[in-house]
Structure formats: C-alpha cells, structure tokens
Structure 1
Amino acid sequence: NLNLSNRGYFKPLFAGNTVKGFPIFSRSTGKRSVFVAVPIVMDGKVTGALGISVFLDELNARLNKDLDLPPHYTWYILNEEGNTMLDKERDFIFMSPLTQGSDSLRKGVAEALKHESGTIQYQLDGHREAYYRKLPNFEWRMFIALVEEGKTDVPQKLQLTLERFVPELQGQLNKIDASLAAQIEKNGVNVHNESEVRKLLRTLFDTNPEIVDATFIDTHGVLRLAEPSDYKNFEGSDLSSQEHVIAMLKNPQPLLSGGFVSVEDFLGMVIARPLYDSSNHFAGTISALIRPELFITPMIGKSMIPEDYELWIMQTDGMIVYDLDKEEIGKMLFSDPIYQAYDSLLELGKKIAAAPEGEGSYIYLAQGLEEKVIKKVIWKTVKLHDREWRVVLAYRPYN
C-alpha cells in the first residue's frame, strides 16, 4: 500500500473536488505525469477516489506526431498557474514561462491566463506570435506560435570572458608540452640509466606545478618510473591497455590523451612525448599527468569568470573533462543517463562537437539546484597536437 495523503492533490480531492491534471514528477523513474481523479461519494461523504496518471513524455510525442507542424511553428500547453504541461520541445515540460523567459513572454502569458482565447506577441530567440485557446473542461490553454528565428544576443561580457580564458588555457597546455620537449632535448637522457631518467622526471615535475606527476613508460606499456616519490608505488603498473599508451606504442609522436581513469584513481589526461635511445630507436614515453579540476580551477579565478557564468569543457567525443559540478567530470554527454532527458542539451552537444566555435542554447538544471532553466552558451576551442577541447561558457539570460 502507498500512502498518498502527503500529495498536493489529496486534500482537495477528499474535500469533494475533481482533480484535473495535477503535475507529478517521479524522482525514482524520472517520469513526468499528470494525475486526474474524481471523488467517490456515498451518503454525502467522500469515501474514496478514482484516478489515473497520464505520462506526459509519451503523450507529448504522440501530439507532436499528430500535429505535424511546419518547422517554423511551435506549440505548448500551460495550466492555470502558467506551468508548461506539454511542449513541442519536451525539455520545457514543468517549466514556467512566468519565471523562465523574456519580459514580453511573461507579460503575454500572464495576460493570456485571464482570457479564454486570443493572441500574444513576445521575444524568445526571435520574434514569436502565438494564438491560444482554453481547452474544454480544463483550465489549460494551448498555444500555437509562429517562430521568426533571431540571432542569439550574446552579452559582450560573456564574449570577453571567454576570450580571456581560452588563450590562458591554451598557453598552459603549450607550456607543459614545450617544457616536456625542452627537457628531453636538453638532458639527452640515457634510457638505461635510472638516475638520469628520474632526474628528467623530477625536473619536469618541479618546473610544471600544474601537473600531478611525471612518468616513464617503457616499450611494453609498463610504468617503470614515477616522480615525485609519492607515486613510486605505482611503478610496475601495466598501462598497455590505455588508449594513449596503445597509440604511442603504435605510432610514437607527441600527444594529448583523451580523458581516462588513471592508476592514481582519478580522471586525468596526459601530455606525452616519445623518448629515443642513442641509436634513435623508440625507447619509451615521458608523460605529464594532468588532473582537470586542479589544472583548470586556478585559471578560472585568474580570468575573472563571474560567479553567475558556468564553464564546462568537452572533448569532441562528448566526454566532460571539466565542469564546476565535479560529479559531472568524466561523464559522457551522449550516453550518460543523467543527460538523456534533455533533448536540447544533446542536440547542442552535437553542434559543439562538430564546430570549433559557435553559440546556442539548451535547458538543464541550474547549478546547485533541481530547477530547470534556459541557458545560452558560446564556445571556442583549444588544441594540442590532434586533441581538441571545446571550452563552453554558459549563462542564464532569464535569471
């Protein structure tokens, strides 16, 4: 048995009122539904109720198919409180245009809720004109709007902030890579002399405070030496199954790896260069390990990124290599379950992966909150060797 007495619809229902579309979000399944119920009355008293739940995602998909509107039209349904019950873009379900939208949209919706039918005009990524009508037997109103696409209005402050940060990040990656190359060339290391290799690793670590450790990996993919000494217990680890190690053994050349779970047990990436012996034969790899949050966070403060902006960095395969929410670091945008309910984010992610720079918008949870909000973004790219990172800066235009 399930006790429903704490549900918002319970008291009105058992006071004898019909419930018409009470919104419900299931935390356990992520399903969005509405509850419709009528009281059962015997001898003038409410003795029970008969109700059904209607799953909104399924209904939304069916209505989209049945309506089959042209691309430049959209539709949505609001309840009497202005909350979105259904929308051509399902990300908007349970969001309120009275709190998440332009001033003209808020004013238009507030006025529409006072009438049974009419038209409103508002701005939302371009000019929109909507016709609305109240649904029979429900305090819900359906809107059909003509959408005139407009260019995203990017605040100058957002653009300037990203233009400060991206060169800083690119410069730090270049610095570590150049240091790696310079130390290898300068020291002329005998790969068979452990003390010489350790000296190289230690110098690399000491001159690059941004890295976690420096390692030497042999031609079999085994981590032979590590500095500083805190990481010596990882010496002897077989790394031959790691993607970047496989790539280096197959074709020795400088690289920035993709994100991976390191033997040190955190998401990291390495900047690596091949090491050659006196006969110019490939003899192993010198790697500098980076931990994204420790590497990038200091740069955010240096670049003076405002607290109300959100920075995240993505590989072109969709891996999140940095996010202000540490729980999201290492997740795959295109496959992780936490993102699958957000169509606009997945669609934007594809655009970000495909283009080195651009702008767009999506809907996702506000940072540190459980409320969905509209976010607009711009992005640029940093690149080292054949690896690209998309640097994305987001803000909430309707906060």
Structure 2
Amino acid sequence: MRSVYACLLALLVLAVIIGGCLEEEDHATEYQEEMNFILHRSITLINDELTGISQVTDENAMVLSILGLDNTDALDSLKQSLQKYPYARSSLVIDADGVVIAAVPEKYTDTVGLDLSYQPAVERANTEQQQIVSDVFWLVEGFYGISQSSPIFSRDGQYLGYTDITYQPEVMIEQVITPLFANTPYDVWVVETNGRVIYDTTPEEIGRNLFSDPVYQLPGLQEVFFHIVSETSGKTEYTFWDRNWQHLETKTAVWGTAGVYGAEWRIVITRVIRRK
C-alpha cells in the first residue's frame, strides 16, 4: 500500500512540476508575442513618421525651386512646415556648394553664409542629390541631431542644393512609440549601425556608443551588439545593468530595422528574465 501511495505522491509532484513548466512556457510565449507586436508596430510608426517628413521636405523643395532659395514666401512655407512636427528644430536651405542660403526659425539666421561643405552629411546630400535621412551628427544649430533632406532642382533640371528638417531622434522616437510600451515590462532602445544609441528608455544611454563606451565592455556583450548591428532582425539574450545601474540582469531581446532614405536603425525590445 505504501508503495502505491509513494507512486501517487510522485505522480502528483510530477504533475505540479509539469504544470508549472507549462505555465511558465505559456507566459514566455505571451511575452514573446507582445514583444514582437511592439517591435513591428514601432517599426511601422517610425517609418511612417520618417516618410511623412520627407514628403514635407519634398514640398518645401518644390516651393523653393519655384520662388527662389531665399524667397520670403518660401521661407514662410518652411516655418509652417516645422509647426507640423513638435520635435522639429530647424530648416535650412543649403546650396550646391554647401553654403547656407537661408534658415528658419529666426534664431538660426546666424548660420546664413556659413560654408558647411566640410560636413560629411552636407557633402553626402550634395553628392547623392536625393532624399536622405542622415546619421546623427553635431549640427551648427548647436545640438546632435538628424538632417532629413530633399534636393532642390530648377525647372530645367539643374541641381540647386537641398533643404532639410532637423530634429533630435530621441525626441521624435519617444513621441511616436512611447504609447506602445508605457506601463509594460519592456524596454526599448534604438541604435545606428555604427553603434550610436539614438534612443533608450534609460536616458543616460542616449548618445553613447555600444562599441567604444567603457560601460558596454561586459563579458559577451560586444559579440551580442555586433550581432544586432550586423543582422536586420533577430532574437538574443544578454546581461547588462538595470535602469538604476545597481544590479546585473539577464534580458531577452528581439530586434528589427526601421529607416527610409538611407537610415538603418535597429529597434530593440527587451525584457528582464533573470536578476542576479
């Protein structure tokens, strides 16, 4: 009889263990589905926002082509365009030689006449002569940001220069995707393929470089980051500090790629699965 009870007890324990494992697996599957949803929705929203900005800079370029690169009415049109995007900082008109012809709003008019041909972003825009979303760089307006530009052509097809809308990507991204993961257990960070973090739910990490900053030199972390910037999508695990920089955590992560007109941003969604 005792052996029967022992067998029944063993079966009961086994059932509890299996049930617990299945419950954990169900939760893991649920988390994974939520993470994938946030990832794909974030990519869509960011791409839509970038595409919308380029449509506006295209319209601005057309107005400048018709009215002139420093025409007052054309510059009024640029000012109105900036109001469509609360995070937009400035709009410049730069000629084919890299010289600033006009700038709005008024607080940036001191940039007019500056030769910016030395800047890689300006050189690229004037060389490629197409819609561009630049990498983050130090703008003469006085902040690290992105220049999203469209070329200006005369009616007979002569290249005249370009006009842009500038913004800080962390502000734009936050406004666009925060509602997706607010009050969830997930974190989000966005990185350029050169390793520069352009958005993070831990603000102190924005602007750091995953490959050169000392804080990212934990064992195995560089290999994970290299994998993320090298592949357009994937899933991985890694260990890093919590938001308060006090304890190490093991995180699961999924990532994908957003970006138009030359931009290639890795969007990474993470969840803590183990605290050390």
- State the TM-score, normalizing by the size of structure 1: 0.58
Distance 1:243 1:372 in 2: 38
With over 3 angstroms needed to count, the CA separation of the structure-2 counterparts of 1:370 and 1:223, relative to structure 1, is farther
What corresponds to 2:262 in structure 1?
386
**What letter matches 2:35 in structure 1?**
L
1:244 Cα offset (Å): 1.4
Give the superposed CA RMSD.
2.2
- SS of 1:285 mapped into structure 2: strand
With over 3 angstroms needed to count, the CA separation of the structure-2 counterparts of 1:193 and 1:320, relative to structure 1, is closer
Q: Does 1:252 align with 2:129?
A: yes
Distance 1:317 1:384 in 2: 17
What's the % identity of the aligned pairs? 24
Q: Does 1:213 align with 2:87?
A: no
Structure 2 stretches of 5 or more lacking a match? 1-20, 22-27
Matches within 5 A, 1:193-272: 193-272=70-149
What corresponds to 1:160 in structure 2?
37
**Maintained 8 Å contact 2:46/2:259:** no
Q: Which residue, 223, 242, 260 being the options, matches 1:366?
A: 242
**Maintained 8 Å contact 1:259/1:330:** no
**Maintained 8 Å contact 1:267/1:291:** yes
What corresponds to 1:172 in structure 2?
49
**Bigger Rg, which one:** 1
1:192 Cα offset (Å): 4.7
**Maintained 8 Å contact 2:238/2:251:** yes
Task: Tell me whether 170-179 or 324-333 shows the greater mean CA deviation.
Answer: 324-333
Distance 1:203 1:302 in 2: 27
1:193 Cα offset (Å): 4.3
Encode CA deviations 1:20-59: one digit per residue, 9 max, x unaligned: xxxxxxxxxxxxxxxxxxxxxxxxxxxxxxxxxxxxxxxx
Q: Does 1:280 align with 2:157?
A: yes
**What letter matches 1:367 in structure 2?**
R
1:186 Cα offset (Å): 5.6
- SS of 1:373 mapped into structure 2: strand
Matches within 5 A, 1:309-320: 309-320=186-197
**Maintained 8 Å contact 2:258/2:267:** yes
What corresponds to 1:335 in structure 2?
212
**Maintained 8 Å contact 1:189/1:196:** no
From the two aligned structures, give the one with the greater helix fraction: 2
**Maintained 8 Å contact 2:61/2:151:** no
**Maintained 8 Å contact 2:70/2:102:** no
- SS of 1:370 mapped into structure 2: coil
- Greater RCO (CA < 8 Å, at least 6 residues apart): 2
- State the TM-score, normalizing by the size of structure 2: 0.81
From the two aligned structures, give the one with the greater strand fraction: 1
1:390 Cα offset (Å): 0.5
Distance 1:389 1:320 in 2: 10
**Maintained 8 Å contact 1:191/1:283:** no
**Maintained 8 Å contact 1:170/1:383:** yes
Q: How many residues in Structure 1 have an aligned counterpart in Structure 2?
A: 248
1:155 Cα offset (Å): 2.5
Distance 1:388 1:371 in 2: 31
Encode CA deviations 1:315-335: one digit per residue, 9 max, x unaligned: 112111111233322222112
**Maintained 8 Å contact 1:184/1:200:** no
1:298 Cα offset (Å): 1.7
Distance 1:335 1:395 in 2: 24
Q: Does 1:352 align with 2:228?
A: yes
With over 3 angstroms needed to count, the CA separation of the structure-2 counterparts of 1:282 and 1:196, relative to structure 1, is farther
What corresponds to 1:398 in structure 2?
274
